[in-house]
Structure formats: C-alpha cells, structure tokens
C-alpha cells in the first residue's frame, strides 16, 4: 500500500470521520484513529498536532487556493465581484472534498470545542482573503470588510450546497451574492 504523505493524511481523515461518527469525538483517541488508518500513532502526530486538526488539516490548502483564485481573477472588478469569481473557481476543489466535508460539518456542529476551532479557521481564511485582495491594490480596510462579507457568503453557499445534494454549487453561490446585493439595497 502506498504511504505517500497525502495518502496517509487522507486515510487518517477518513478514519477519524468513521470513528467520530461511530463513537463520538470525545470518546475517540488519536491512537484509535491511527490504528483505523493502518498507521502508527507517531505517524498520526507527524501529520496532525492533535485530534481536532484531523478535521481542519486542509485549511492551509484552502487558504492558498483562495489566494491563487483571487490573484487569478482578470481585470479589476469591485472587491465582492472579484470574490464571487474567485470562489466560483474553487468549485472543483470543493467537489473533490465534498465526501469529507459533509460528515465533517455534522461532527463539528455536534461539538462546541470544534465549533470554536471552526470559527478560528474561518477567521484565518478571511485573513488570507483580505491579504489577497490587498495584494491586488484594494485598500486594507475595504479588503478586510470584503473578505469578511465575501467569506460569509461563500460559507452560506457551501452550507446550502451540503444540505441539498442535487443543488448546483455555482448557482447557489451566484444566488448568495445576489441575495447580498438585495440586502444591501
């Protein structure tokens, strides 16, 4: 069986989901996750600092993907229009990770400590988004506000997409940005 770093990380994440759903987050140990994935506990800790991070380990990848997507939007659209285009570009990554994201969301929703960690990770994503906008010349204050609002809209579309399996993510994201424009009036 291949032991590439990415393969091991994915197996650990899948094992964690299985065990968290079966026994609950609090009752599951890192050693049990490692055993379920067919690796040692030491290997687990080479990939994740704790059992919470097995659910959040893709955040650095997501931050980098958002930064690339923001940088890759052509022209000079207004910040929220720029973010709408950038977030649409992330759809392929979201689709690949959907089988992990749906049960992950259920586990996080059921555990207050994980919900707190999720908020920290969202703030980190907002920061990366604001930095990417600022790198495009958007004033820092506007970049931060656009990042906060834009990532909230993005998160709203993702939540709706996960609860409606047949829905098209691009349509949901477009509708969420239209709803925002309607709210602003």
Domain ranges of the chain: 5-51, 58-184
Q: What is the band of 130 on the pLDDT scale with cuts at 50, 70, 90? A: very high
Q: How many Å apart are CA 69 and CA 90, to the nearest integer?
A: 7
Residue 166 pLDDT > 90 = no
- Other Cβ atoms less than 10 A from the Cβ of 60: the count is 12
Average pLDDT estimate for 103-118: 92
Nearest alpha-carbon partner for 133 in 177, 61, 89, 79: 79
Residue 1 pLDDT > 90 = no
Measured CA distances, 47 to 4, 61, 64, 89 (Å): 12, 14, 18, 28
Q: Which fold has domain 5-51?
A: Arc Repressor Mutant, subunit A (1.10.10)
Structure tokens at 165: 């399996």
CATH number of this structure's domain 58-184, picked from the four choices 1.10.357.10, 1.10.1740.10, 3.90.550.10, 1.10.260.40: 1.10.357.10
CB-based contacts of 177: which residues, under 8 Å, 6+ apart? 80, 84, 153
Q: What is the band of 3 on the pLDDT scale with cuts at 50, 70, 90? A: low
Provide the pLDDT for residue 102: 87
Q: Which residue, chain included where needed, has tokens 């973010």? A: 83
Q: How many Å apart are CA 129 and CA 134, to the nearest integer?
A: 9
Q: How many Å apart are CA 177 and CA 55, to the nearest integer?
A: 28
Provide the pLDDT for residue 61: 87
Provide the pLDDT for residue 180: 96
Average pLDDT, the chain: 93
Q: How many Å apart are CA 152 and CA 9, to the nearest integer?
A: 28
Q: What is the band of 185 on the pLDDT scale with cuts at 50, 70, 90? A: confident
Q: How many Å apart are CA 23 and CA 48, to the nearest integer?
A: 20
Residue 59 pLDDT > 50 = yes
- pTM metric for this prediction: 0.86
């Amino acid at each position: 069986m291949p032991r590439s770093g990415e393969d091991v990380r994915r197996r650990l994440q899948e094992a964690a989901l299985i065990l968290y759903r079966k026994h609950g987050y609090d009752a599951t140990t890192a050693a049990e996750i490692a055993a379920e994935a067919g690796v040692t506990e030491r290997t687990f800790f080479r990939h994740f600092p704790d059992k919470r991070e097995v659910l959040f380990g893709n955040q650095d990848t997501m931050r980098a993907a958002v930064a690339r997507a923001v940088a890759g939007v052509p022209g000079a659209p207004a910040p929220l229009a720029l973010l709408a285009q950038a977030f649409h570009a992330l759809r392929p990554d979201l689709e690949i990770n959907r089988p992990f994201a749906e049960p992950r969301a259920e586990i996080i929703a059921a555990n207050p400590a994980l919900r707190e960690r999720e908020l920290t990770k969202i703030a980190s994503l907002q920061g990366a988004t604001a930095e990417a906008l600022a790198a495009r010349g958007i004033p820092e204050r506007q970049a931060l506000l656009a990042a906060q609002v834009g990532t909230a809209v993005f998160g709203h579309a993702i939540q709706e997409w996960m609860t409606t399996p047949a829905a098209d993510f691009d349509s949901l994201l477009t509708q969420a940005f239209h709803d925002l424009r309607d709210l602003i009036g």
